[in-house]
Amino acid sequence: MEVRTARRPDLIEIGRLAHEVWWEAYAGLVTSNTINRTLDANYAPSVLAERLLKHFCFLAESDGETVGFAEGVPGDDRIVLETLYCREGGDVDVGRRLVDQIHGLAPTLPMCSDVVLGHLTAESFFESAGFAPGEIMEEEVEGEHIVRRRWWLPGTPAQAGVPNHE
C-alpha cells in the first residue's frame, strides 16, 4: 500500500470513494437527503480541487485502487482531521497510515476528529488508534440536526534540545 499526497487527477476517485463511504456509513444515521446534499456540496470536482489547495490531503492506494483518503488542517493548537475515508471491509492499517500521515504534519499537536454518534465503525477505529472520546456537539448539517462526538489523539512531547519547526 502506498500513501501519497492527493493530486488533481485523483479528484474523481476521491469523489467516488466519498459517495461509497457516505452511503455505507451514514445510511440510517442521517436522512438520504442529507447524504445527497452533503456529497453535492463537498465532493464536486471543483470543490475538491479547492480543498486540495487549501488543506493537506493524502490518498492511499493498493494494487492501483484507491482505498483511502484523509484531509487534515493543522492549526496553532491542534490538527483537525476533517476527513478520513477507507473502503468498507478494508484493512484497518489504511486508516492508521492515513492518520499517521496527517499527524506527522505537526506531531507535537493533539489531533481531533468529529464523528456522528452511532457511527460504530468510526468510533471503534478511533478508539483502537489511540484517540479518546471528548466533547459532544450538536449542529445542523444540510438542515438536519446531528450529534457528534469529538475524538482526541494527544500530541507527542517535543524533545528537549530539538527545535520545533511548526
Q: How is the chain split into domains, by residue range?
A: 2-109
Position 90 scores a pLDDT of: 63
Residue 96 has pLDDT above 90, yes or no: yes
pLDDT digits (tens, 9 = 90+) for 121-149: 999 999 999 999 999 999 998 889 999 99
- State residue 159's pLDDT score: 57
CATH architecture of 2-109: 3-Layer(aba) Sandwich (3.40)
Q: Residue 87's pLDDT is what? A: 87
Would you say residue 61 has pLDDT above 90? yes
Using the predicted structure, report yes or no on whether residue 89 has a pLDDT greater than 70: no
Is the confidence at residue 161, as pLDDT, over 70? Answer: no
Long-range contacts (CB closer than 8 Å, 24 or more residues apart) made by 20-28: 20/87, 20/88, 21/85, 21/86, 21/87, 21/88, 24/88, 25/119, 25/121, 25/122, 26/116, 26/119
Q: Assess whether pLDDT exceeds 80 at residue 1.
A: yes
What does the mean pLDDT of the chain come to? Answer: 91
- The per-type count for the chain, helices as H runs and strands as E runs, is 5, 7
